Structure 1
Amino acid sequence: MRKSGGRRRKGKAGSQPNSPSSSNTTFEPLPSPKTPEKSSPLEPKTKLKPDPSNESYNKNKNEHVTIVSRQLKLVYDNDIRLAHTPMNCSFKVLRDTIKKIFPLLNSFLIKYKDNDGDLVTITSTEELRFAESTVDRNDSIGVLKLNIIEVSPEDEPPLLKEEEKDNEKPKRVDRVLDEKDGTTSESNKVEEMDDWLYEFARLFNSHVGTNESSDLRELGTEFCSEALEDIVTCDEALDLFEKAEFKFQEVAALAFFNWGNVHMCAARKFVRLDENENEVMVLKESEFDFVKEKYYLAREKYEQAVVIKPDFYEGLLAIGQQQFELAKLHWSYATANKIDLGKETLRLFDGAEEKMRAASDMWERLEEEKLDEQGSSGMRSQIHLFWGNMLFERSQVEFKLGMSDWKRKLDASVERFKSAGASQADVSTVLNKHCSNGNAGDGEVKGSSRTPNVIKMMK
């Protein structure tokens, strides 16, 4: 046959290290029913070129063209491999080929994507032929993409009896390339590979530093990891790491803070107030124990939030709130049941004031750094209001216990109310309701810290 289109790659049998046949793959008309020589399944697919001057070509251009192998793309999880099988091979040959490529696979399913985009399982040779027909065209053999899915042995479809009896010898079959309408010169073409493609592939692999058997995807992942490692170890990345650490710390502290709020809400649900929402009504002992346990759980979560983020002043405010409400609960329960809980109540008030003072100092330091005057004024008012209500309630408890220091606590609470921006009328109303004036109930400035939403949950 005469050469066409420049120098073609020629070679004798055994010249290619990985091929048992000639390195020049040509698809020529089959002159006789003799068994053709076996070609390497690794030979590349080549461009079709006709040679009109070849008498043998013109004479036999309507005869069969021999196609030796089919190229496969095997996808197993994140591993993608290329393979070849004999044309029209059986289902068992396909399975054996896959097992050679993925030797660790024991039981698996073979699926292909049909024209509707669905993954269809192949269980027989007939179904394999149908899968091949979805990628083949009139004048070309398509690359068949197969998805390999590992399954348990009982889920693997068994081979049919006719598949098991097949001797499974590689077959070389003839495929007729149908002519397109009006394009007789474009069909039935002889395939050849130019030498420059081989040289280019060799130079490319040599320049990149890879070999033919290497997994390019794995190499790309390694190069990406090396590049990221250089980036994350540079000085610019340290600042980003510190910011990320701060954000995660804040989110973790906020999670425990809100967890504690859940326990506080559960406790408040069982605390029944009188019609003026001032005095805690009589609780049963079981109810008192349940509410007290919820308060203790809330404090535990608030303390964990402060441990995670030491400058989390909201957590300290919440602990002060918990101590204050628990002190009120103890005093009301002790008064109703004639129990002496005065020392325990005062201890809880001391704890609430201590946490309030620590939270206030921490907040002041943070505000000096932020210099956000608008946001700071609102929080400052809330802190003074909460502190004033706590001192007011304590002054009433100390008055009922006959302690002489109650008046100083009352005056301090008035100063806190004024600092919070309370009107003189509200302050006078609260003072008139103090138990020292002979009133049974206690008073609170509007917006008392006993309400659930006085300490805003962070967003």
Structure 2
Amino acid sequence: MEATLRSDEALPIFESAAERFKEVTCTGLLNWGNVSVCVAHKLLDDLADSGADLGDDLAKRAEEAFTKAEARYKEALGFHPDYFDGLCALGQLEFERAKLRAKLIVKPTPPPPAAGTGAGADADAERAAVEAAAAAQAEALRAALAKVKKEDVEAARAHMDTASGWYKKAVAAAEAADARRLQEQERRAARRAGKEQQQAAAPATPEPQATFAAQTRIMEGNALFEWSQLLAAAGAAEWRGVLDSAVALFKAAACSDADVRGALKNHTHAAELDLGPEPAEQEQSAAAGGEKQGEKGEGKGKEEEKPAAAAKGLPSLDKKKKNKK
């Protein structure tokens, strides 16, 4: 041991150990900051349960908790300026401040039941309980949004601008972390290939996995999705464009079309979105149309080319069209 510590190989070991301690320290500071955010949430949840309005004193106490969290997150960045978890946390913190400034106080509802392994009647009961919990949460959100005032939402914009800045830094840091992780995976794959066969061979391709950048974009997309609901509640026409931006982030994060469509259906202003038919209905309609066209064209010459079918993908967010009278 003593000989190793005095050897030329010791310095890289020390540097690696120091980096590991930095990572552990950053994680600890992040979680410490998260505790302060939980304190603020508890204060606001208790207020919502009481049915009272948000007063200056409680708003100040919640902001003090947010300030403590911000200090811990920034302390973590002092050790690692590109610590993307800390950058994401700062972006989310500004969104929490935006909701506080907009006085969006949502009454907490019982959480949905934990996923089980039941079948038959048990599975049906579990599904019904989950749907009931989701409906209760949606109703609580609508009730809270109905109380927000336009001037409070306008005052919250500065926090959303700050959040956007933090998320941009977080995405850049996450992309760099993804690149480093991929390089390390390729090196490990090459070493394994070298051990398994002496002759030169292409290294195995690492299995695809969720990227840090995708996780970061989803977080920002969720914040914009909720912000669009606040803007819509305040009567701001730009809520639709903000929702478009959220969907773009979900797409960039490789979220499935079904998941994005499901989220849009749960938007508080989903009735104003032209989501189009369900994918299954669209496929059935296309199949039926194809059969009719085939019957119609029997015995005839070459038919005229039909225009290409609309590409399947995310639903349109255009304003819902009204039926003409």
Alignment of 1:20-31 (within 5 A): none
Q: Distance in 2 between matches of 1:237 and 1:264?
A: 41
- How far does residue 257 in structure 1 lie from its aligned partner after superposition? 1.0
The residue number in structure 1 matching 2:116 is: none
2: CA distance between counterparts of 1:308 and 1:246?
A: 9
Corresponding position of 2:218:
385
CA–CA distance in 1 between the matches of 2:14 and 2:76?
21
Q: 1:241 aligns with which of 14, 29, 48?
A: 14
Work out whether 1:324 is the aligned partner of 2:95. yes
**Contact 2:36–2:69 at 8 Å: present in 1 too?**
yes
- Report the counterpart of residue 206 of structure 1 in structure 2: none
Q: Report % sequence identity.
A: 28
Mark the CA change 1:249 to 1:416 in structure 2 (over 3 Å): closer, same or farther.
same
| Structure number, greater radius of gyration | 1
CA distance in 2, matches of 1:303, 1:247: 19
**Separation in 2, partners of 1:396, 1:404:** 11
* TM-score normalised by L of structure 1: 0.39
Residue in 2 that maps onto 1:272: 45
Q: Which runs of 5+ in 2 are unaligned?
A: 106-144, 186-205, 274-325
Q: Which amino acid aligns with 1:329?
A: L
**Alignment root-mean-square deviation, CA:** 3.5
The structural deviation recorded for 1:231 is 5.5
Where does 1:435-454 land on structure 2 (aligned, <5 Å)? 437=272
Using the TM superposition, give the Cα deviation of residue 288 of structure 1 relative to its aligned residue in structure 2, in angstroms: 1.7
Q: Which residue does 1:293 correspond to in 2? A: 64
Equivalence for 1:311: 82
CA distance in 2, matches of 1:387, 1:293: 24
Instruction: Note if 1:429 corresponds to 2:262.
Output: no
Over 3 Å counting, the alpha-carbon distance change for 1:274 and 1:304 in structure 2 is closer
For the pair 1:410 / 2:181, whether they are aligned, the reply is no
Q: Is the 8 A contact 1:399 1:436 kept in 2?
A: no
Q: Distance in 2 between matches of 1:346 and 1:400?
A: 14
Q: Which has the higher helix share?
A: 2
The answer (yes or no) to whether the contact 1:417–1:427 under 8 Å persists in 2 is: no
Deviations 1:36-79 (A, max 9, x none): xxxxxxxxxxxxxxxxxxxxxxxxxxxxxxxxxxxxxxxxxxxx
Higher relative contact order (CA 8 A, sep 6+): 2
What residue in structure 1 maps to residue 170 of structure 2? Answer: 359
Match of 2:157 in 1: 346
Residue 357 of structure 1: how far off its partner (Å) = 1.6
For 1:364 and 1:337, the matched residues in 2 are separated by 37
Q: What is the distance in 1 between the residues matched to 2:217 and 2:255?
A: 5
Give matches, 1:201-212, under 5 Å: none
Structure 1 CA distance for aligned equivalents of residues 210 and 22 of structure 2: 26
Q: TM (normalized to structure 2)?
A: 0.54
Q: How does 1:179-194 map to 2 (within 5 A)?
A: none
Deviates more, 1:396-405 or 1:251-260: 396-405
**Amino acid of the residue matched to residue 18 of structure 2?**
E
Quick check: 1:370 aligned with 2:211?
no
Equivalent positions of 1:80-91 (< 5 A) are none
Provide the aligned length of Structure 1 versus Structure 2: 207
Would you say the 8 A contact 1:395–1:409 is kept in 2? yes
Determine which of 241, 250, 255 is the counterpart of 1:420.
Answer: 255
CA 414–273 in structure 1, closer or farther in 2 if over 3 Å, else same: farther
Q: Is the 8 A contact 1:281 1:332 kept in 2?
A: no
How far apart are the structure 2 equivalents of 1:434 and 1:247? 47
C-alpha displacement of 1:411: 0.9
CA distance 1:271–1:358, change in 2 (3 Å): same
Deviations 1:125-171 (A, max 9, x none): xxxxxxxxxxxxxxxxxxxxxxxxxxxxxxxxxxxxxxxxxxxxxxx
